[in-house]
Each structure stands twice: as C-alpha cells, then as structure tokens.
Structure 1
C-alpha cells in the first residue's frame, strides 16, 4: 500500500500562512506583469455553483476580474458547477433555470462565449472520470483537514457528510486540471483548494509517470492569481450571501434595488465617514457607492457629509442602478432567448468535452490503461 508523505498535507494546511500568503501575493504581481506581456501563456479556470442569481458581491469580487483577464487575451474556462450543488444539499432544485440564469449573468457582464469556454460539470463525463485516479492520490485524513470540508463538518455538529462533500476538494482539482489550467483567480480562502490541485498534479506524475514519448508531466502546477478586489458586505452588514437574503442581484430591477437599499443597516451618526473598522455598515454603503460610480470612498463620504443614512442610501441606489442599467438591459434580452443560451452552453460543453477526452487519453497512457 502506498502512503503519502506528511509534507504534502502540511503544504495544504499552511497555504494561507502569513509567509506563504506574502509569497503568493508577490508571485501574483509577477503573473500580472507576464499577462500584460504575453497573455497567451496562461489558461484560466474559474466558475460558480448555480445555487441562485449572481449579485454585486460576485460582480465586484470575481466577475469584473474574469472579464478583465479575458479581454487581456488570457484563455478562459468558466465552469457552471452543477454537480457541486448536491455536495451539501438534498436536491438540485430548479437547476436548469438556475444554470441558464447564471449563464445570462455571465454574458450580460461581458464574458464573451466566442473567447471563453463556458460549460457544466454534468455535460463533461471525462472531467468527472478523473476523480477516480485523483482519489487514489489523497487520503481520508487529508480531505478532512481541508478547511472547507472541516468547516462543513464543524457546522453540522459532526453529522455524517456525503461522500461528494468529503471529496469536494478533489472534484475541484479535476475542474482545474482537466483543461490543464495553469492559473486560477482566487481569494486567500480558496488557496487550500488550489494547493490540493497542485498536490494531485505532482503525485500523479510521481506515481504514474508520463505518457510514452513525452518529457512533460500530464498536468501543470496551477498557480494562484490573488484578487485584490474589494469585499462588499450584504445590506445587513454581514457577508453578502444568497441564503441570507441580503444581496443585490444583477438581475433585480431598479425599484427592487431601491427597496433593498432603503432597508440597509446604517447607524445613528448622521455624519458620514469611511471607517470600515469602526463603522462597517455605513462604510459598506460608502464603498458600494464608490465602486459603482468609479470614485474614491473618502470622496463619497465627504460629499454626503451630514446628510445621514438617508442621503447615503439615495446615493448608493443611484450609483448602483446607473451602473447596472446596461447589464440589466442586456440580461433581459438574453433571458428572453433561452434557445440562444442553450446554444452557447452546448458549444462550450462541446469544447470542454474535446479537451477533457484528450486529457483523459493522456492519463490512461500514463497509467498504462490505454487498451
């Protein structure tokens, strides 16, 4: 029986340590310079679970960066992770509608289906088949130490989790490696998952070797591109989350947005300042207004001055609705044409399948299973 050395597990556990995080930030800065000089050397994998409509947290946190990378010339793969919906749920819900809604959001914000490959888990069998050899490369203990798995276990009071939840990090490794992505935009909380993919890639090479006649490993070592995007809180001052009902969705109409922001939490001090540590709720609305209008938060706060929470909410509503108006108009057109959305998805699935089958072929050769 083959055992894995402890250092690999330690690498995953320490991937968010201060020293490691500093190294990753420095490397991310280098990668940005390389993208500017030669974007064609990179292939990005990113995506979302279709559990509901995308909101401003997604927009500022990841969507804008995806569009930026795509427009810079980086080859982009965008996963609609439909199988991952059932990792922690008893059913998928109205999954078809949610997948098409997510796709409409992607296209409305500027992801170009001619330049990006947009695909779903369930339509790419070869991607999911990689889970089998990948699972042979990790241990139960390593999976249980993964921060996402561990937090899920803690949150459920040690209630037995599904096998899919336990193997969630390996499924994400398959997502990244099937298309040989060498760059993954992440926040620091996702670094352990990326490190798991790096460990899987390295262990596959160490255990099974390389396809006959080649010197390169089957899988590259994917690198992190750390995001410096501002984190926008929900309207209640907590983390923006679909499950909390504190979001402003990209597809909301202007009147609904105004009602949601009118209920946003502020404080009793009428003088508006930007002080995230001392006044997180007020500062969040200031930041949201600044991001939506392309201004500096301090300047926004100074302009509102003694206008109080009501003036701040009006400013936020105006800025958000103005920013989202063209996105909402485009999204409405897309949602009204599900046939077009399905064609985009089928084209993306076809491209993803071709790449996944080629990668699986290399895996079979390396494992001496090409019969």
Structure 2
C-alpha cells in the first residue's frame, strides 16, 4: 500500500492542478477510461464520471479509452464485449460527456497505440513490473488460474494509453498512483535515452468518497451489489431496501464504526448536496427504514434526468457507433503521429 508520506506530494500537486485548470483549462489533455465489463454504477458516477464532466465543462480536452483489450487481464475471454462497449458509450453520453468535444475510442481499434507497448517494455525492468502494488492486488483477485503476460504488462499498457495522445493529466484514485508513476518513469527514460517527446503526466487525485455496495463491501459490478445508472426506479428501490445496515435503530453518521449506514447517508448527501451528518440528525430515531426511504428518493430524483437521456440515446444505436467511429478515427490520427515520432527518435523509421 502506498504510504501517506508518499502520497502527500501528490495531494499537494493535485490541489495546485485544480487551480491551474480553473485558470488555463486549454493547457491540459486528460486521459481517462474504463474496461467494458458491464454497465456503470453509482460508484463510477461519483468516483469518475462526475469529475470527467466537470473537467470537460471547464474546457479541458478529454480523451476516453474503452479498454477492451484490458478486459482480458483477469478473464479468459471477453464476453458480451460489443454490448458492454455500447453500454459504456451510453453511460458516458447520458452522464454528460460531449462527444463533440471528447474523443471516445476503443483499444482494439488503434493499432499504433498498442504498438507503443514494445518500446515501452524495453524501458522498464521485470522487477519494476513485478513490484507494482496495484498489479499485485489485481493478480490476487484475478479470476484466472495463472497470471497472463497481459496482466503482468498492464502498467506498461496503461502507459501507452496515456502517452499515445501525450496526455499531461490523469484523474486517478490513490491506489492508482504507482501505475502513473511507472508511466512517468517510462516517459522520462524515453526522453533521456532518445529525445524529448513525452510529457510526464500529473495525477489529479479525486476526492471521491468510497461508496459501499448493498452488501456492505466495495461496490462492484462483479459482486452484484451495485446500483446501476441504468436501473429503473423500482429496481433501485428494491436494492436499497435490501441494503445492509446494522442492529442499532438510532441513525448516526459514523464512517468508522457504522460503515454501511454511513455509506447510505453519504450517498444521499451526494445526491442532494447536503451534509451526511445533517441527514443523520434528521432521521435519528426513525431508523433504517426511514434512512432507506430517504436514500431511494434522493438517488432516483438525482438520476432521473440521466436515465431519461440514456433511454432516449438507447433508441439510436447507430449514433453510438458513429460516436465510436469518429473517436476511433481521431485516436488513430493521434497514435500514428506519436508512433512516427517514436520511430524517428529510435531511428527505426525506414
């Protein structure tokens, strides 16, 4: 686990970057994205989607990768991939990402990006890949009987995702800092060994809180405990009614001792713009039933516009494919330009 001492400079730098974004948004190009393993949920929305839309509204250029190749890092096969890719595009657009001002593309459609993996791997050692704490955690929770080479090279592949478009800003959670540090290392070593070509991207640490799933563990599509953005109001109500709380009737906001109750209060607070502590004080002796009613109403009201947009967008699948076609074309132009520069720098442009 990354220590507090190691992350303190990243937090300070992230605060500086927030100020710079307000003043000079056009200086930044952000790379972000998701693996297409299913529809997005509330954890994704408050953890990443909301922040992406905020950055775009400020005028920051957004490049969003749908990392279809990386689905295979912890799976033997990538099942239902076309549907999952379209679902991601639907969730992005419904949440407010504007494809007129953002590049949304898929890994597999950009060969030049993936070709960067080879020279990048020559710049890192096996030991550096092996000790990456995020990869260690992913291997521990992998669904595969054996670790694939793709899993092992995951950090270098992420470096290619970031550097192919010369992104200089990457929104990450604290647990992703080691990945980004390896990207910075690869960029620095390439620049030193060949010629200055790549920026060393900064981390924009998200203040996003951790939302628990309905079973009290981390919200995750694979655990079946997530409230999907695309769920109906009735489905959302059923899930929240079944959410784990505890045996104490009086509602208090105590994240350390009452994490499940605190997570529900936090979710209601995020949806209403209110302080979770104030919500807890209002509910007080009325218990878990009143809490769940409040959360259900808050979530459904907050997501109603998004869900309406999503339903409308879902009627025109051709539009979704056109968004991807345009995004893939733009990403290919970026990647071909960068790969040409890499070949020239390495004297392999014949």
TM-score normalized with structure 1 length? 0.92
Change (3 A) 1:286 1:74: same
- Cα distance in 1 for partners of 2:253, 2:178 equals 32
Quote how far apart the aligned CAs of 1:328 are: 0.5
What is the aligned partner in structure 1 of residue 333 from structure 2? 354
Decide whether aligned partners of structure 1 residues 298 and 175 sit closer, same or farther in structure 2, where only a CA change above 3 A counts: same
2:92 is matched with: 106
1:196 Cα offset (Å): 0.7
Given that residues 153 and 159 in structure 1 are in contact (C-alpha distance below 8 angstroms), is that contact kept between their aligned partners in structure 2? Answer: no
Residue number among 140, 154, 167 corresponding to 2:126 in the alignment: 140
Please show how residues 216-255 of structure 1 align to structure 2 within 5 Å. Answer: 217-255=196-234
Partner residue of 1:284?
Answer: 263
Deviation of 1:303 (Å): 1.3
Cα separation, 2, equivalents of 1:194 and 1:64: 21
List runs of 5+ in structure 1 lacking aligned partners. Answer: 1-12, 211-216
Secondary structure (helix, strand or coil) at the match of 1:114 reads: coil
Q: Is structure 2 residue 315 aligned with structure 1 residue 329?
A: no
Map 1:123-134 → 2, pairs under 5 A: 123-134=109-120
2: CA distance, partners of 1:120 / 1:178? 13
2: distance between equivalents of 1:80 and 1:184?
A: 15
Asked if 1:48 is matched to 2:34, the reply is yes
Q: Give the match's secondary structure for 2:65.
A: strand
Separation in 2, partners of 1:156, 1:337: 36
TM-score, with structure 2 as normaliser: 0.98
Give the direction of change, closer, same or farther, for the CA distance of 1:331–1:18 in structure 2 (3 Å limit): same
The alpha carbon displacement at 1:158 in A equals 11
1:270 shift after superposition: 1.4
- Partner Cα separation in structure 1 for residue 333 and residue 316 of structure 2: 27
Equivalent residues of 1:80, 1:99 under 8 A apart? yes
Q: Secondary structure at the match of 1:242?
A: coil
Mapped to 2, the partners of 1:160 and 1:147 lie a distance apart of 18
Which residue, 287, 294, 304 being the options, matches 1:315? 294
Q: CA deviation at 1:267?
A: 1.3
Q: Where do 1:252-267 residues align within 5 Å?
A: 252-267=231-246
Q: Secondary structure at the match of 1:265?
A: coil
The question of 1:194 aligning with 2:173 is answered no
What RMSD over aligned residues (CA atoms) do the two structures have, in Å?
1.4
With over 3 angstroms needed to count, the CA separation of the structure-2 counterparts of 1:370 and 1:157, relative to structure 1, is: closer
Please, which runs of 5 or more residues in structure 2 have no aligned partner?
Answer: none
Select 2:22's aligned residue among 36, 39, 44. 36
Q: Separation in 2 of the partners of 1:158 and 1:101?
A: 25
Secondary structure of the structure 1 residue equivalent to 2:222: helix
Q: Structure 1 residue 142: deviation in Å?
A: 1.3
CA contact (8 A) 2:90 2:320 kept: yes
Specify the SS of the correspondent of 1:343: helix
Distance 2:116 2:78 in 1: 23
Write the deviation string for residues 17-69 of structure 1: whole angstroms up to 9, x where unpaired. 32221111111111111111111111100000000110000001111000000
| Cα contact 1:234–1:241 (8 A) shared by 2 | yes
Q: Give 1:159 deviation, angstroms.
A: 5.3
**Residue 21 (str. 1) matches residue 7 (str. 2):** yes
Partner of 1:66: 52
Does the Cα contact within 8 Å between 2:74 and 2:142 map onto a contact in 1?
A: no
User: 3-state DSSP class of the match of 2:303?
Assistant: helix
Task: Indicate the residue corresponding to 1:8 in structure 2.
Answer: none
| Aligned position for 1:162 | 148
Tell me the distance in 2 between the aligned counterparts of 1:155 and 1:58. Answer: 19
